[in-house]
Structure 1
């Protein structure tokens, strides 16, 4: 039996025309989406896609399966909607808090699925930096908040009334000006090779980054420009202009508005984990349903 998640992945590639664009739409990394598609091809026993330099196109078998998959997914959506009415999700409100990267890159496909499944639930979304999002959930101002924590570093403390569920772990990567010598290698960059490099810093005004930048400082990177207001878009823009190098989450580097060179750092050195925070011990059908969709979307796509 075909996995509906993999069928949805194939449909997304058919509509987007490339694995990279489909991955962005679904909130996956391209390698994670490719893995799902490879499993689907093994289940089908035949090639479903032909990769080429501009993207990917369906084979004859892929076109046949996409046509059937759309019908299956439509039926599942209808079933979810009917079940929602039975379980009390035919109305009400779901209030979400998110930091900017997650709000732009991760939430839209999940919100789209939630809206199709529970069209009568009113949705609201507000931007909150992680600590502010936790406070807002604890105060009852929002129902769920997407937060993040860095490794190395201490996770944000939670009141006893809240719980946190990890969704996605991504590496931090080096960003530089295009053509920079450090971005040219195909292997992972040892942190020791950052010695003497001017670093675009987000500490000390970004407490969650302090331990990360302490590691970079011990490796010999020298603070060059301080971005006092946390904003990865600005870090990437300054790196692109040659004012220094930066270390940012992989999804930020992949979607930077300015051209940057990138390089993976030594394995396991620096990471960011994205989690969803919710209140415990209360009936919250809409919040529970949304958390389940988050788990389904991102639990399969954790880059290591």
Structure 2
């Protein structure tokens, strides 16, 4: 049986004409979307896409599967609407918390899908720098919130009434000024190559960054500029200007407003997990529906404890 998430990814590529544009539309990174498509091709047992310098086109098998996939996805959408009516999702308010990166690059398509499925539910969105969204959910300020956790880092502490579910895992990558020697290669860059490099250090007292900052310090990178607030747009702009190198989530690097060089690191165990947190002590059909849309958009990892 084909995974509906992968079918939706194939349809998006067919409509966008390229993996990069489809990834932006779905909130994936291009490598993550490519992985989903590769799994779908293995399920299908044949090539579905042909990649070329101007984008991507469907093979004959891909065109056949896209036509069927659209029908499947339409039926699933109808089922979602009918279930919503049964669950009483015909009014009320869903209060969503987010942080800036997720709010800009991940949340909009999910909010759009929720609005289409449940047009009578009022939506509000509030910004919380992680881990503040967890406390906001526990206090009842919002119904659910997107937050993040880093590896390596201390585990996120959750109140007894709150549960967290991973929706997206991404690697951390090196960003530099365009043309920098460290980002000129195509292979993974060993972390040891950062020794002696001027590092744009980002909020080392911030819980989510403490473990990462410790790893970078051990490589011998030399802190040259400290950004004391967790703002990746500013970090990328400073790296773009040649003021140092930085390590940021891959999604941040690929969507930077300023031109940057980017390179994957070796080992690839520096990661950021984006999670959705929600209360577990009360029934909330709108929250459950929204979480289902998140799982459909980004896939589901194991339960985070």
Does TM, scored on the shorter chain, surpass 0.5? yes
Q: Which residue of 2 aligns with 1:256?
A: 256
Q: Distance in 2 between matches of 1:214 and 1:196?
A: 15
Q: Distance in 2 between matches of 1:220 and 1:41?
A: 42
- The C-alpha deviation readout for 1:197-236, integer Å capped at 9, x for no partner, is 1111112453321221121112111111111222101111
Q: Which residue of 2 aligns with 1:76?
A: 76
In structure 2, do the counterparts of structure 1 residues 163 and 4 end up closer, same or farther at CA, with 3 Å as the change threshold?
Answer: closer
Per the alignment, in what secondary structure is the counterpart of residue 136 of structure 1? helix
Offset of residue 165 of structure 1: 1.6
1:5 maps to 2:12: no
Q: Distance in 1 between matches of 2:293 and 2:129?
A: 22
Q: Distance in 2 between matches of 1:216 and 1:3?
A: 38
Q: How does 1:223-234 map to 2 (within 5 A)?
A: 223-234=223-234
In structure 2, do the counterparts of structure 1 residues 46 and 188 end up closer, same or farther at CA, with 3 Å as the change threshold?
Answer: closer
- The C-alpha deviation readout for 1:119-148, integer Å capped at 9, x for no partner, is 222211111111221121111110001111
1:37 maps to 2:34: no
Q: Which residue of 1 aligns with 2:161?
A: 161
Q: Which residue of 1 aligns with 2:296?
A: 296
Structure 2 residues not aligned, in runs of 5+? none
When normalised by structure 1's length, the TM-score is 0.91
Structure 1 residues not aligned, in runs of 5+? none
- The C-alpha deviation readout for 1:70-110, integer Å capped at 9, x for no partner, is 33322321221111101121222111101111111211222
Q: Distance in 2 between matches of 1:6 and 1:218?
A: 39
Q: Distance in 1 between matches of 2:131 and 2:140?
A: 15
- The C-alpha deviation readout for 1:31-68, integer Å capped at 9, x for no partner, is 33223333444555554332111211234443444344
- The C-alpha deviation readout for 1:158-207, integer Å capped at 9, x for no partner, is 22221212222211111011111111222222222111111111124533
Per the alignment, in what secondary structure is the counterpart of residue 173 of structure 2? strand
Q: Which residue of 1 aligns with 2:15?
A: 15
Q: Which residue of 1 aligns with 2:215?
A: 215
Calculate the aligned-residue CA RMSD, in Å: 2.1
User: After the TM superposition, which parts of structure 1 deviate over 6 Å for at least 4 consecutive aligned residues?
Assistant: none
**Does the CA contact (< 8 Å) of 2:5 and 2:299 recur in 1?**
no
In structure 2, do the counterparts of structure 1 residues 280 and 243 end up closer, same or farther at CA, with 3 Å as the change threshold?
Answer: same
Q: Distance in 1 between matches of 2:18 and 2:172?
A: 25
Equivalent residue pairs, number:
302
**Does the CA contact (< 8 Å) of 1:205 and 1:229 recur in 2?**
no
Q: How does 1:1-304 map to 2 (within 5 A)?
A: 1-44=1-44, 46-299=46-299
Moved more, 190-199 or 32-41: 32-41
Moved more, 102-111 or 228-237: 102-111
When normalised by structure 2's length, the TM-score is 0.91
**Does the CA contact (< 8 Å) of 1:205 and 1:230 recur in 2?**
no
Offset of residue 238 of structure 1: 0.7
Q: Distance in 2 between matches of 1:199 and 1:112?
A: 38
Per the alignment, in what secondary structure is the counterpart of residue 36 of structure 2? helix
Q: Distance in 1 between matches of 2:146 and 2:36?
A: 25
Q: Distance in 2 between matches of 1:145 and 1:269?
A: 25
Q: Distance in 2 between matches of 1:294 and 1:119?
A: 17
Per the alignment, in what secondary structure is the counterpart of residue 215 of structure 2? helix
